[in-house]
């Protein structure tokens, strides 16, 4: 699908082609059988001594546990203990790990039950042996001898037989169905199964190759035979399949006879933390980085921000783009296998040296503004940017593609908004006015400005129409709203109407607008009639006037209602929250290609609906101070200032 869409940039506008693709990730329930009464942890008040005589059968070791003799003798004690105290034949015990802790001197022995050469996947034991060779504590969830007796002996042979082949393919298909990466029958026919040995343990296993990439990132998966204890205590023959995907790394046990998934784990951790300039620090001039944990808002992003091991998720995919091209799926992104995105940052070096931190910051800020705007009504039904729209409303498949240090330009940034259902595209550039160069990814007001183009374009005239804020006054207000949301994010409790805000100060070194945003008519003299001045044809100059007018409205609302310390509290009794709410509501109310007067009236109507008009006069006074009073009008193409408010105000 290729569509024309307008791209709005921080400083200039262009036209480009954007294509769309849909990717869907859904959360899958992971589970293991509940083994009631098993796995109790026994702690001995008095350490237990177990004798190991020469008749005792030695335990088998696998992989990394083929350790030194001191560890091995402790492992033999552990095996003897399991055999004597729990009546588990030593031949059924396989040591998977054993090591002596350097500090405590305790040897930790981890074992797995085997039967007929295959593992009992959830037949586990751990035995702790002190330095004197005594058992201090233990636990096991081995299957009973009774249950083992009832299961037919299996064959863990390295040689793949025809029947294995068929049953493994069935199991593989069933697993893919479960994790929603369906493999078709023709895909299945192309899959080949071969026997091999595990690279760590040397144990027999099978490799499945020619797997479609949607199912396995590298086109292959591994499997081996195992037994699993079900909740009722009986044992089932399963295929233990390991399947690595973009966002998941599955370890599953699938019934060899029935094809049903008996247990499934995801090795990808979905905890999230980011070392970033947090949302109350606009840029490196204002403060420093810190580690922010689980920042996702549970209403806006119920399944978190990250769906994989890298900066990809339901709301945005952030990546490097040194060539400035339009691919994104395969572009470079930083990895995190444990959900912690923490990378070095040295701002005295060139931006390319800290690309991992830049992408992390961009991912963080775009998600932040996604969540914030969601809370204020830029949600799925209203046409926001999400891969999966959990409510089922609106059109999904349109997360934002965000490029950090995009190579298609410098000293700027831009955002493309196609209609709902197609990806928004954000390009952040590096800035060359300072030495070393600076990276706009670290300036929240710029990222928020860009994302807000997506908000205003989608909300004005409805999500399907992206052609409502193209140029002139409507396009100028698009820029103004973008500066305004960036400003609202910066206003903190303790600030007063004397706080001035400069957009782009970090990136460009000196700001990128004509005046700071200010409630002082001296610091910023802009009024409605400025639209007729020379130099005010472009959307950025027009937008600056609009954002300045709204800055007055914001401070009147704060003075009347107080200030919410955190906009995310969505406390609609507070002035800054009311301002953000009625500004977004106004976008929904106003017509396509609105004028300043239309947009003003929509905001006033939004307050009427939100508060019953409680703030009517405060809002009018803000507009009127900057020439957008009740009698402001366009006459002979001139914008005529008016400074009066409605009677009664
Ligand atoms: C396991 O299967 C292999 C290959 O079919 C066969 O040679 C071997 O005898 C079997 N072993 C048992 C214990 O069934
Ligand atoms: C993760 O890092 C490795 C190198 O450590 C790299 O080869 C791989 O492409 C990275 N994966 C992603 C998704 O960025
Ligand atoms: C919205 O998302 C839900 C959940 O992913 C999906 O079932 C539904 O088809 C989507 N609706 C549209 C119109 O895309
Ligand atoms: C960026 O800064 C330079 C000098 O520091 C200035 O000349 C230029 O006008 C600024 N860019 C914009 C868009 O304001
Ligand atoms: C806002 O609009 C809704 C929907 O029309 C209506 O139910 C509600 O009463 C309005 N609230 C106010 C304060 O006007
Ligand atoms: Ca959408
Ligand atoms: Ca729209």
Q: Whose CA is nearest to atom 3 of ligand 2?
A: 335
Whether residue 610 lies inside any domain: the answer is yes
Ligand nearest to the CA of 446: 4
Q: What angle do CA 257, 258, 264 make, to 5 degrees?
A: 105
- Is residue 16 domain-shared with residue 61, that is, in the same domain? no
- Is residue 60 domain-shared with residue 17, that is, in the same domain? no
Residue 485 to residue 561: CA distance in whole angstroms? 19
Q: List phi, psi (to 5°) of 169.
A: -65, -40
Residue 510 Cα to ligand 4 midpoint, Å, equals 6
What is residue 19's predicted lDDT score, i.e. its pLDDT? 25
Whether residue 94 lies inside any domain: the answer is yes
Residue 630 to residue 601: CA distance in whole angstroms? 10
- Is residue 217 domain-shared with residue 246, that is, in the same domain? yes
What is residue 158's predicted lDDT score, i.e. its pLDDT? 44
Residue 451 Cα to ligand 6 midpoint, Å, equals 14
Whether residue 393 lies inside any domain: the answer is no
- Is residue 242 domain-shared with residue 176, that is, in the same domain? yes
Residue that finishes a domain, picked among 77, 108, 142:
142
What is residue 58's predicted lDDT score, i.e. its pLDDT? 63
Do the annotations mark residue 25 as ligand-binding? no
- Is residue 490 domain-shared with residue 619, that is, in the same domain? yes
What is residue 66's predicted lDDT score, i.e. its pLDDT? 58
Residues of the chain with pLDDT under 50: 1-4, 13-26, 64, 156-159
> Ligand 5 pocket check: which of 609, 614, 616 to mutate, most ligand atoms within 8 Å of Cβ?
609
- CB of 589 closer than 6 A to ligand 3? no
Whether residue 231 lies inside any domain: the answer is yes
Residue 308 Cα to ligand 2 midpoint, Å, equals 12
Domain boundaries, position 181: 164-266
- Is residue 556 domain-shared with residue 629, that is, in the same domain? yes
- Is residue 491 domain-shared with residue 531, that is, in the same domain? yes
Residue 12 has what DSSP assignment? -
- Is residue 208 domain-shared with residue 72, that is, in the same domain? no
Do the annotations mark residue 270 as ligand-binding? yes
Residue 575 to residue 558: CA distance in whole angstroms? 4
What is residue 379's predicted lDDT score, i.e. its pLDDT? 96
- Is residue 476 domain-shared with residue 528, that is, in the same domain? yes
Pocket, ligand 2, Cβ cutoff 6 A: 310, 333, 335
* CATH number of the domain encompassing residue 237: 3.10.450
What is residue 349's predicted lDDT score, i.e. its pLDDT? 97
Q: Whose CA is nearest to atom 9 of ligand 5?
A: 609
Residue 544 has what DSSP assignment? H
What is residue 2's predicted lDDT score, i.e. its pLDDT? 33
- CB of 388 closer than 6 A to ligand 3? yes
* CATH number of the domain encompassing residue 117: 3.30.505
Residue 432: alpha-carbon gap to chain centroid? 30
- Is residue 540 domain-shared with residue 596, that is, in the same domain? yes
Catalytic-role residue among 450, 505, 544, 552? 450
Tokens 């995907």 locate to 245
Q: What's the structural domain count of the chain? A: 3
What HEC string does 95-133 produce? EEEEEECCCCCCEEEEEEEEECCEEEEEEEEEEEECCCC
Residue 26 Cα to ligand 3 midpoint, Å, equals 12
What is residue 507's predicted lDDT score, i.e. its pLDDT? 98
What is residue 265's predicted lDDT score, i.e. its pLDDT? 85
Whether residue 575 lies inside any domain: the answer is yes
What is residue 149's predicted lDDT score, i.e. its pLDDT? 84
DSSP-assigned beta bridge partners for residue 229: 235
Tokens 């019953």 locate to 612
Residue 366 Cα to ligand 7 midpoint, Å, equals 20
- CB of 383 closer than 6 A to ligand 3? no
Q: Whose CA is nearest to atom 3 of ligand 5?
A: 609
Spatial CA neighbour of 244 closest among 210, 269, 267: 267
Pocket, ligand 5, Cβ cutoff 6 A: 608-609, 612
Closest ligand 4 atom to the C-alpha of 434? Answer: 5
Q: Model confidence over 564-576: pLDDT tens digits?
A: 999 999 999 999 9
Q: Whose CA is nearest to atom 12 of ligand 4?
A: 512
- Is residue 76 domain-shared with residue 219, that is, in the same domain? no
What is residue 27's predicted lDDT score, i.e. its pLDDT? 55
Whether residue 421 lies inside any domain: the answer is no
Burial category of 641 from C-beta neighbours within 10 Å (exposed 0-12, middle 13-18, buried 19 and up): middle
- Is residue 126 domain-shared with residue 256, that is, in the same domain? no
Is 34 catalytic? The answer is no
């Amino acid at each position: 699908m290729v569509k024309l869409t307008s791209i709005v940039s921080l400083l200039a506008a262009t036209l480009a082609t954007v294509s769309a693709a849909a990717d869907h990730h859904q959360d899958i329930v992971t589970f293991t059988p509940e083994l009631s009464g098993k796995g109790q942890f026994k702690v001995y008040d008095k350490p237990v001594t177990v004798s190991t005589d020469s008749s005792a059968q030695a335990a088998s070791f696998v992989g990394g546990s083929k350790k030194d003799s001191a560890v091995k003798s402790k492992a033999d004690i552990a095996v003897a203990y399991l055999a004597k105290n729990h009546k588990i034949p030593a031949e059924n015990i396989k040591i998977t790990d054993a090591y002596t802790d350097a500090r405590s001197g305790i040897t930790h022995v981890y074992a797995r039950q085997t039967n007929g050469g295959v593992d009992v996947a959830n037949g586990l034991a751990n035995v702790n042996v002190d330095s004197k060779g005594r058992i201090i504590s233990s636990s096991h969830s081995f299957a009973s001898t009774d249950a083992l007796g009832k299961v037919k002996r299996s064959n863990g042979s390295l040689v793949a037989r025809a029947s294995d082949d068929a049953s493994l393919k069935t199991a593989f298909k069933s697993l893919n169905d479960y994790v929603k990466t369906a493999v078709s029958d023709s895909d299945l026919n192309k899959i080949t199964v071969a026997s091999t040995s595990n690279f760590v343990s040397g144990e027999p296993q099978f490799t499945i190759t020619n797997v479609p990439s949607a199912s396995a990132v590298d086109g292959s998966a591994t499997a081996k035979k195992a037994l699993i204890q079900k909740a009722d205590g009986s044992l089932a023959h399963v295929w233990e399949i390991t399947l690595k995907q973009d966002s998941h790394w599955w370890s599953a046990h699938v019934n060899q006879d029935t094809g049903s998934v008996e247990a499934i784990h995801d090795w990808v951790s979905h905890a999230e933390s980011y070392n970033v300039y947090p949302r109350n620090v606009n840029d490196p001039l204002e403060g420093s980085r810190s580690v922010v944990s689980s920042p996702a808002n549970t209403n806006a992003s119920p399944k978190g921000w990250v769906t994989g091991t890298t900066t990809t998720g339901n709301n945005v995919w952030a990546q490097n783009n040194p060539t400035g091209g339009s691919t994104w799926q395969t572009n470079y992104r930083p990895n995190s296998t444990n959900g912690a995105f923490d990378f070095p940052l040295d701002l005295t070096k060139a931006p390319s040296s800290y690309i991992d931190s830049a992408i992390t910051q961009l991912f963080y800020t775009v998600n932040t503004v996604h969540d914030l705007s969601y809370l204020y009504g830029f949600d799925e039904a209203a046409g926001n940017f999400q891969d999966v729209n959990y409510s089922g409303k609106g059109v999904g498949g349109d997360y934002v593609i965000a490029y950090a240090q995009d190579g298609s330009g410098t000293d700027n940034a831009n955002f493309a908004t196609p209609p709902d259902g197609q990806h928004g595209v954000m390009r952040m550039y590096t800035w060359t006015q300072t030495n070393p160069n600076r990276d706009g990814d670290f300036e929240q007001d710029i990222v928020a400005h860009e994302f807000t183009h997506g908000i205003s374009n989608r909300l004005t005239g409805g999500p399907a129409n992206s052609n409502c804020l193209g140029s002139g006054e409507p396009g100028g207000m698009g820029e103004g709203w973008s500066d305004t949301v960036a400003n609202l994010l910066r206003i903190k409790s303790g600030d007063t109407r004397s706080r001035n805000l400069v957009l782009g100060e970090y990136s460009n070194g000196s700001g990128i607008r004509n005046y700071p945003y200010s409630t002082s008519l001296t610091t910023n003299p802009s009024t409605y009639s400025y639209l007729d001045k020379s130099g005010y044809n472009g959307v950025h100059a027009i937008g600056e006037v609009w954002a300045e007018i709204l800055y007055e409205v914001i401070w009147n609302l704060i003075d009347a209602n107080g200030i919410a310390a955190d906009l995310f509290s969505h406390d609609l009794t507070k002035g800054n929250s009311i301002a953000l709410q009625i500004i977004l509501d106004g976008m929904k109310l106003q017509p396509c290609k609105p004028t300043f007067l239309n947009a003003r009236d929509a905001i006033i109507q939004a307050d009427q609906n939100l508060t019953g008009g409680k703030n009517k006069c405060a809002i009018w006074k803000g507009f009127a101070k900057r020439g957008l009073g009740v009698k402001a009008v366009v006459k002979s193409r001139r914008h005529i200032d008016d400074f009066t408010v409605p009677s009664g105000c």
